[in-house]
Amino acid sequence: MKKSKPIYLDSASTSKVDSRVLGEMTPYFTEYFGNASSNHSYGAKAKDAIDKARIQVSNIINCDSKDITFTSGATESINLGIKGYVEANPEKGNHIITVKTEHKAVLATCEYLETKGYEVTYLDVDENGLLNLEELANSITENTLLICVMYVNNEIGVIQPIKEIGRIARDKNIAFLCDATQAVGKVNVDVEEDCIDMLCFSGHKLNGPKGIGVLYKKSNIVLTALIHGGGQENSLRGGTYNTPLIVGIGKACEIALNEFENTVQALLKRRAELQELYEANDIGQVNFKEVATAPHILSITLKNQEAEEYLLLKRNEFVASTGSACNTALVEISHVLKALEKNDGRTIRISI
Ligand SMILES: *Cc1c(COP(=O)(O)O)cnc(C)c1O
């Protein structure tokens, strides 16, 4: 007898491509394969599809479509946003402020820049994983040019006070970059209302394809390119346009926006069921119930079981993780739980 697959509860690490997204992408691999930069009808067909995708993406974060740059994923968007900004704006200073619980894409980029002479402040978080706004304001110096704070934490699901951070940054004329990879499609992201100057996310966290991401940058933000080439994406990112993946992330954003209310309701319902399952049966306790969290991520501390051991035991029933996917391969204690002083080895992440 064929064994049934375990239930997938690891959507924060990646998600399945929606069949409607795949359906939209397929003809751009086969029939409409033209190079979007070509000056003929094959090129025009691809270019039109990319223009449409740019609008679909801009609608979900409320920006102008000309402020969207397509990249290979959130990691590249974050690298382009941070390195590109500090390189293009040396007169604005050499100090970056970020948080200890950011994704490694942000932390590793900042650590790299430290080796190049930049100064980085890594803010602490409280027991709920949130930064302190006063501490943020106090850490700003005349050399601060960039603040990087994520919208939703990928390991614990808590939502940082983005609008307040955006206001502080704007008041001080400091650029604000937000990694919204876990937020787009699950919480209301609005770059205008939230005073976000640069925003990054990936297609594959919202039922789009892997290998495609977005960098939004406000029109007045100047960046230096990481990848130089044929002048694509306003010379911010060289390389032949990846039309099928761009079409895919566009469609994924369109669906996520159209179905936003239903998706959130469904996620909350499932979340409540899972919470009940763990708490009523006294298996574990759901964390961060006192603060705002994204609807798809549940952090659970098991009552009397090691996290790794528990997931191994349950692996034929369901799959989840102990932290971010980048961490599990290393079996290294999560830097997020470490920052929270919660590295008891009994905390798991369930993501729907
Ligand atoms: C997944 C993730 C990233 C990295 O996305 P890639 O698609 O791997 O580049 C960055 N930040 C957060 C919060 C994520 O969840």
What is the pLDDT at residue 331? Answer: 61
Kindly report, residue by residue over 32-47, the tens digit of the pLDDT: 999 999 999 999 999 9
Q: How large is the average pLDDT for residues 343-349?
A: 90
Question: Which DSSP category does 294 fall into?
Answer: -
Residue nearest to atom 5 of ligand 1 (CA): 74
What integer best gives the mean pLDDT of the chain? 96
Residue at 181: amino acid letter: T
What is the pLDDT at residue 86? Answer: 98
Q: Which of 267, 277, 268, 278 is closest to 346 using CA atoms?
A: 278
Compute the distance from residue 274 Cα to the ligand 1 centre, in Å.
25
What is the pLDDT at residue 323? Answer: 74
What is the pLDDT at residue 2? Answer: 66
Round to whole Å and give the CA distance between 288 and 340. Answer: 11
Residue 114: count of CB within 10 angstroms of its CB? 11
- How wide is the angle at C-alpha 248 spanned by C-alphas 246 and 253, nearest 5°? 100
Tell me the pLDDT band of 207, cut-offs 50, 70 and 90.
Answer: very high
Residue 125: count of CB within 10 angstroms of its CB? 21
Kindly report, residue by residue over 265-311, the tens digit of the pLDDT: 999 999 999 999 999 999 999 999 999 999 999 999 999 899 999 99
Q: Say yes or no to pLDDT of 326 above 80.
A: no
Residues recognised as catalytic: 326
Q: Which of 102, 55, 31, 9 is closest to 246 using CA atoms?
A: 55
What is the pLDDT at residue 62? Answer: 98
Round to whole Å and give the CA distance between 277 and 200. Answer: 34
Q: Say yes or no to pLDDT of 109 above 70.
A: yes
Q: Which atom of ligand 1 is nearest to the CA of 105?
A: 10
Compute the distance from residue 74 Cα to the ligand 1 centre, in Å.
5
Q: Which atom of ligand 1 is nearest to the CA of 205?
A: 1
Structure tokens at 270: 């499932």
Q: Which atom of ligand 1 is nearest to the CA of 152?
A: 13
Tell me the pLDDT band of 185, cut-offs 50, 70 and 90.
Answer: very high
Q: Say yes or no to pLDDT of 324 above 80.
A: no
Structure tokens at 226: 């990481």
Kindly report, residue by residue over 66-79, the tens digit of the pLDDT: 999 999 999 999 99
Q: Say yes or no to pLDDT of 344 above 90.
A: no
For residues 94 and 144, is the Cβ–Cβ distance under 8 A?
Answer: no
The SS3 of residue 108 is: helix
Q: Say yes or no to pLDDT of 65 above 70.
A: yes
Round to whole Å and give the CA distance between 220 and 96. Answer: 19
Kindly report, residue by residue over 125-176, the tens digit of the pLDDT: 999 999 999 999 999 999 999 999 999 999 999 999 999 999 999 999 999 9
Round to whole Å and give the CA distance between 257 and 59. Answer: 8
Helix residue ranges per DSSP H, the chain: 19-25, 27-30, 41-61, 74-88, 104-115, 133-139, 162-171, 243-258, 260-280, 307-313, 325-328, 335-339
Q: Say yes or no to pLDDT of 102 above 60.
A: yes
Q: How large is the average pLDDT for residues 173-200?
A: 98
Round to whole Å and give the CA distance between 321 and 345. Answer: 12
For residues 202 and 181, is the Cβ–Cβ distance under 8 A?
Answer: yes
Q: Given ligand 1 and candidates 181, 249, 326, 336, which is best to mutate, with the most ligand atoms within 8 Å of its CB?
A: 181
Q: Say yes or no to pLDDT of 5 above 60.
A: yes
Q: Given ligand 1 and candidates 11, 70, 75, 151, which is best to mutate, with the most ligand atoms within 8 Å of its CB?
A: 75
For residues 185 and 157, is the Cβ–Cβ distance under 8 A?
Answer: no
Q: Which of 320, 323, 319 is closest to 338 using CA atoms?
A: 323
What is the pLDDT at residue 104? Answer: 97
Q: Say yes or no to pLDDT of 332 above 80.
A: no
Kindly report, residue by residue over 279-291, the tens digit of the pLDDT: 999 999 999 999 9
Round to whole Å and give the CA distance between 31 and 36. Answer: 14
The SS3 of residue 147 is: strand
Q: 313 forms bridges with which residues in the sheet?
A: none
Residue at 297: amino acid letter: I
Which amino acids bring their CB within 6 angstroms of ligand 1? 73-75, 103, 105, 150, 154, 179, 181-182, 202, 204-205, 213
Tell me the pLDDT band of 327, cut-offs 50, 70 and 90.
Answer: low
Structure tokens at 337: 């739980």
